[in-house]
Amino acid sequence: MIEMQSFSVSFGAGEALREASFVITPGDRLGVVGESGSGKTMLGLSLMGMAPDAAKLSGKLRIDGRDMSGASERDWQALRARKVAMIFQEPMAALNPLRRVGETLCEPLRQHLGLSRSAARARAFELFEEVGIPDPEARLEQFPHQLSGGQRQRVLIALALACDPELLIADEPTTALDANVALRITDLLVRLAKHRNMALIFVSHDLAAVARATAEIMVMYGGEIVERGPTRAVLDAPAHPYTRGLLEARPSPQSKARGPDGKRPRLTTIPGVVPQLHDLPAGCRFSGRCPVELPVCAAVRAPVCAVAADRTAACHALVSEGGA
Ligand SMILES: Nc1ncnc2c1ncn2[C@@H]1O[C@H](COP(=O)(O)OP(=O)(O)OP(=O)(O)O)[C@@H](O)[C@H]1O
């Protein structure tokens, strides 16, 4: 359905996405994780044809076999919503505060699907029911500020589903929500993806949410896909030192509990910060922060190694271990 091949997004000499290659087929549920600045949003925006104007794109992106390299904004508009839709982390910013949510939802239904006013209204009602908004008739009349954060996110999900996309990209869909609501929204996205046989790309900092929502995971660092494979297998036994670092830095119930001295244990963190785009090492981008760094790492790009039949990781240390 969607294929990226050596796809890069650059700003000047800095690559925000470096030679990403992967395929999405109907019903796939793919998690994308990585620290801030690792290129997760750029990946999502590229799949929507919405990379910033300043970005230079290279490599191949095919949607339904069609090469999107020379696609115009008009071509993308025809695909967006119907083929690929995206929801963002801050629902309040994505909704017009001066419009009733029903009007916002009816617009794409009329514009893209050509529905009449009453048919659009009936479809909006169904969509609200599908995403679990209680009393849809009354809610359609409300303004965004009259809804809770979780309900606003449900409205955005309904909006994204309006034209029955084949791929939904959820970019940090639960970051702005409290833990219980976040869990319900995560489960809703999974239910919708399964029920509609829709592919889902779930971008998140939250590894527990990704483990719950996805079957496959892609770990990104400095614009590169450093590890990918089945979510459970990767999180249970990470092969890349960056994935291991992310897992160790994850707050666990134990890390939240106070010790006998009344203090919480210190969380392990990955030393240093994600480098700026213009400051990325030429070789493995994790060099400089990596606990198992070899002399070759900073200068030479890490090869992608097969960790198992369905798993890869890009790391020099795996080669020196004998290809894992
Ligand atoms: N318009 C732009 N001009 C220049 N650089 C940009 C632009 N937009 C993003 N970048 C850079 O691209 C890199 C990847 O950014 P991206 O937003 O994809 O990261 P992310 O993993 O989604 O981070 P976060 O979790 O904070 O959303 C970052 O270094 C960022 O500074």
How many angstroms separate the alpha carbon of residue 42 from the centre of ligand 1? 6
What is the rounded CA–CA span in Å between residue 223 and residue 19?
Answer: 9
- Rounded to the nearest angstrom, the gap between the alpha carbon of residue 56 and the centroid of all alpha carbons in its chain is 21
Q: How confident is the model at residue 280 (pLDDT cuts 50, 70, 90)?
A: confident
pLDDT grade for 175, boundaries at 50, 70 and 90 = confident
Mean pLDDT of the 19-46 span: 93
Give CA 84 to chain center in angstroms.
Answer: 13
Which pLDDT tens digit goes with each residue over 217-268? 999 999 999 999 999 999 999 999 999 999 988 766 555 555 566 665 555 6
**In terms of pLDDT, which residue wins out, 168 or 268?**
168
Q: Which two tokens stand for residue 315?
A: 């790391």
Contact 106, 117 (CB under 8 A): yes
- Closest residue by Cα to atom 5, ligand 1, is 11
- List CB contacts of 259: < 8 A, sequence separation 6 or more: 265
pTM (2 decimals)? 0.91
What mean pLDDT do residues 30-44 have?
92
Q: To test ligand 1's pocket by mutation, which of 32, 40, 48 has the most ligand atoms within 8 angstroms of CB?
A: 40
Q: How many CA atoms, within 13 angstroms, populate the side-chain half-sphere of residue 92? A: 8
Q: Name 307's Cβ contacts closer than 8 Å, sequence gap at least 6.
A: 227, 229, 239, 313, 318, 324
pLDDT of the residue at 264: 57
More confident position, 244 or 93:
244
CA proximity to 128, closest of 106, 108, 99: 106
Domains detected in the chain = 2-83+165-242 (3.40.50.300)
Number of the ligand 1 atom closest to the C-alpha atom of 52:
1
Instruction: Quote the mean pLDDT of the chain.
Output: 89
* Ligand 1 near 34 CB (within 6 A): yes
As a whole-number percent, the residues of the chain with pLDDT over 70 amount to: 93
**pLDDT reading at 10 higher than 80:** yes
Establish whether residue 54 lines the binding site of ligand 1, counting it when its CB lies within 6 angstroms of any ligand atom. yes
Q: Give the E-state strand segments of 64-128 in sequence order.
A: 66-67, 84-87
- Is residue 17 within 8 A of residue 39, CB to CB? The reply is yes
Residue 108: CB partners within 8 Å, gap ≥ 6?
Answer: 81, 159, 162, 163
* Ligand 1 pocket member 11 (CB < 6 A): yes
